[in-house]
Amino acid sequence: MKTVKSIMSWVLPIVVGLLVAMVIRHYIFTMVRVDGPSMEPNLDNNERVAVVKTAKIRHLSVIVFNAYHVDPDARSKSVKYVKRVVGMPGDTVKSQNGKLYVNGKLVPQQFISQYERTQGTTNWTLNTLSTRYSWRLKTTKVPKNTYFVLGDHRSVSNDSRYWGFVPASKVLGVVKVPFWDSSSTKRHNVNSISY
């Protein structure tokens, strides 16, 4: 009996700890690795960031979503993309001369340079993009329960301009740069910006 009590005294805390960790990871937050340069200069290739599953998505939030059946080129069920939410349900979105407009209002983009906003991009609206890239859904507004997302480095980002909208059901959570990251600018540009 003493042996069982002795074993349980250290096994039980380990089991409880593992269960708590699993619940936190499944329902509250997890860590992901950024893959590629599309979110530079704010997130770097191979950078690890937290994904808060309970955080509210706002304009300019950076999110992680499962890209399978969103981007036709995402062939694996485990492919995840990190992008910035530009359009919320019901919004109109357009780009003109490197400036971004949502519902006719200029979106401040101090979090990226003029180069990152304009290189390799053109003037567009949701309607012209949906026609040019043959989206399944042709529309002038972001549909209900979806988001329009862009990478911060527009010239290298594979994002909503090419394949359309991200269903809310595919979103895993909102990205937060951990407090131990050395760059307060990056923390601000990812964690705090909205309009």
CATH numeric code, 2-191? 2.10.109.10
Q: Which ranges of 100-183 would DSSP assign to H, the alpha helix? A: 114-118, 126-132, 160-163
Domain ranges of the chain: 2-191
Tell me the pLDDT tens digit for each residue of 37-63.
999 999 999 998 989 999 999 999 999
Tokens, residue 7: 């074993």
Tell me the pLDDT tens digit for each residue of 63-72.
999 999 999 9
Residue-level pLDDT at 158:
94
pTM here?
0.86
Residue-level pLDDT at 23:
54
Does an H or E element contain 85, and which? strand 80-87
What angle is formed at CA 59 by the lines to CA 33 and CA 73, rounded to 5 degrees? 45
Does 121 have pLDDT greater than 90?
A: no
Known catalytic residues are: 38, 83
Does 141 have pLDDT greater than 90?
A: yes
